Amino acid sequence: MSRLLHLDASARKESFSRTLSGIYATSWRAANPGGEYSYRDLAADPVPHIGQAWTELCDHVLANGITDVGRYREAVSTPEQAEAWAVVEPLLEELVAADVVLIGTPMYNYSVPSALKAWIDQVTFPRMRLTGRRFVVAGARGGAYGPGTPREPFDHEERYLRDFFLGHFAVEDVTFVHAELTNALVDPALAGLRTEHEESHAAARELAGKLAVR
């Protein structure tokens, strides 16, 4: 049975990244009527940032060479660690159970929102591997950061996520869908680029639907 974990990280209730991730999720659920679907709104219901107790859990896992996620609970030995584990456990269960992880996220200040980074930190442990899973990132950026654009070097969103999913989780199947130039709708200085934005948005919507049934 296929399982989709759907995360949204935009601070906007109605955003381009939420729209794109929603298109993917709707198409996926239609194509997988027997599949399981889990959803988290990381902006509306934020995951807390990691603290001292989480670092202790992480150190235990590393020091004892634990690579089986099912054994992470063995690291808990204090009330503070138990409290930290209570945050981590449901997040890890959702992630490990998923065949597809869908992340709707905007680019904020050249990178990912802190809400998404907090989730990544909570679910990441040493030498943790999620091979065989598929990650799909439905994104939105205020400017144009694609290959060959002047601002391509400033894209620390896609580069970070792609490098992290591959380098740490060993996930090779990572796909990005971006709606670009969204600020053209509100910034008078970018008003001349609205057509390019509309084309980018339309292409991203079409791609999001197609990827879900791949």
176 labelled ligand-binding: no
Q: Is 10 annotated as a binding residue?
A: yes
Return the closest-CA partner of residue 124 out of 156, 157, 164, 162.
164
* Consecutive H or E run containing 179: strand 173-179
- 137 closest CA partner among 153, 155, 125, 122: 155
Nearest CA-CA partner of 210 in 39, 6, 26: 26
Spatial separation of the C-alpha atoms in residues 64 and 191, rounded to whole Å: 57
38 is in an annotated binding site: no
Residue 28 neighbours by CB under 8 Å, 6+ apart: 4, 35, 37, 100, 102, 212, 213
The owner of tokens 């802190």 is 114
As a whole number of angstroms, the distance between CA 188 and CA 31 comes to: 41
DSSP summary character for residue 65: T
Output b/e per residue, 164-183; b: 16+ Cβ within 10 A. bbeebbebeebebbbbbbbb
From the annotation, which residues make up the binding site for FMN?
Answer: 10, 15-17
Residues placed in the known binding site:
10, 15-17
